[in-house]
Amino acid sequence: ETPEQIAAFEARIGAGEKIESGDWMPAAYRHQLIRMISQHAHSEVVGMLPEGAWITRAPTLQRKMILIAKVQDEAGHGQYLYHAAETLGATREEMLDALLSGKAKYSSIFNYPTLTWADIGMIGWLVDGAAIKNQTMLAGCSYGPYSRAMVRICSEETFHHKQGKEMVVAYAQGTPAQREMAQDALNRWWWPALMMLGPSDKDSPNTPQLMRWGVKLKTNDEVRQEFINEHAPELIEAGLTIPDPELHQDAQGNWIHGPINWDEFWAVVKGHGQMNRARLEARNKAHDDGAWVREALNAYEARRVA
């Protein structure tokens, strides 16, 4: 890589051009995108597990139908994103192996348990709400295939977000038992939702390069602030109490949160969360249970080309 090549590449980024899979790009740009996109795809696929556990226990047929559609959407998002990573030269086998072996990361948020039905609503409202802030930002990403995948994913996430908010507001204004379930869910999901958007900027080693090359258009703290500014007033308006006694609005109208437990975040990222082991076991079991399909496909393909 010559300085001239890097300069020409950065001029394209500066001009707001999209980089496509066949274009010249620095190896570090390719590496960053494979890292981010593959981990995003893993997050979508693992993210099906906490919600999937409640499909058989949804309180009504309508809620069951909505949840099935949402989990199906997550699977589709995973497929888009694995394909986007493949346009950069990553193979499906390598990415799956990295996930199943525990080497690859996926979003910390999915290592928390879904203990009650109200969690499903809270995931829709808070987790998909945070994902929309992050993914709307990434829709402007300089890498064409990723930014286009984000546009499609964001439109589906909007439905996920709305159905979650509608559910939680109904429970927050429902019977005392429903209100208690909604508050308990908020108590357990508020802080993990803030952490999901990544470490604070001073502890975010990838952000400077990602901002320089137009992969991220906003930093982790900026996206987190957007998330809190939208969701804090709405949760309070729904009659819920946000489990952060220091949360307050500053003169500019930004909601300022109390200290985030980054020790918990890094412990979860490093595999010591409540559900990390269960998630990897579930993914490995699904992979093993599906081996016969891959074998049948390979046998069919071998016979077809013979």
Report CA-CA distances (Å) from 114 to 111, 189, 235, 275: 10, 10, 19, 10
How many CB atoms neighbour CB 239 within 10 A? 12
What whole-number distance in Å separates Cα of residue 34 and Cα of residue 270?
Answer: 20
105 part of the interface to ligand 3HC, by CB under 6 A: yes
Residues 250-289 that bind ligand 3HC (CB under 6 A): 269
Residues 163-192 that bind ligand 3HC (CB under 6 A): none
Nearest-approach distance from CB 126 to ligand 3HC, in angstroms: 10
Q: Which of 50, 121, 129, 198 binds ligand 3HC (CB under 6 A)?
A: 198
Q: What are phi and psi of 249, to 5 degrees?
A: -95, 135
Nearest-approach distance from CB 299 to ligand 3HC, in angstroms: 35
How many CB atoms neighbour CB 28 within 10 A? 12
51 part of the interface to ligand 3HC, by CB under 6 A: no
196 part of the interface to ligand 3HC, by CB under 6 A: yes
Report CA-CA distances (Å) from 69 to 42, 146, 176, 188, 277: 19, 23, 29, 25, 26
74 part of the interface to ligand 3HC, by CB under 6 A: yes
Cβ–Cβ < 8 Å for 48, 25? no
Helix axes 220-237, 128-138, angle to 10 degrees: 140
Binding to ligand 3HC by CB under 6 A, coded x per residue (else -) over 8-47, reads: ---------------------------xx--xx--xx--x
210 part of the interface to ligand 3HC, by CB under 6 A: yes
What whole-number distance in Å separates Cα of residue 98 and Cα of residue 4?
Answer: 34
Binding to ligand 3HC by CB under 6 A, coded x per residue (else -) over 215-254, reads: -----x----------------------------------
205 part of the interface to ligand 3HC, by CB under 6 A: yes
The span from the first CA to the last CA of the chain, in angstroms, equals 43
Positions touching ligand 3HC (CB under 6 A) are 35-36, 39-40, 43-44, 47, 74, 77, 105, 107-108, 127-128, 131, 134, 157, 196-199, 204-207, 210, 220, 269
